[in-house]
Amino acid sequence: MKDGAASHLDERGNARMVDVSEKTPGPRMAVAEGRIHLGKGAAGVYSGGPSPKGDIRAAARIAAILAVKRVPGLIPLCHTVSIDSVSVDLRLDGEDVVCTCRVSGVERTGFEMEALTGVSVALLTIYDMLKHAGKGMEIRSVRLVEKTGGKSGDYRWEQ
Total count of residues recorded for the chain: 159
What are the residue ranges of helices labelled H in the chain? 40-46, 56-69, 71-74, 112-130
For residue 9, the cross-strand partners are: 15
**Among the listed residues 112, 102, 111, the one whose alpha carbon sits nearest the alpha carbon of residue 25:** 111
Known active-site residue 128: yes
Query: Of the residues 19, 84, 96, 128, which is catalytic?
Result: 128
- Work out the number of other CB atoms within 10 angstroms of the CB of residue 111: 31
Q: Assign 133 to helix, strand or coil.
A: helix
The catalytic site residues sit at 128
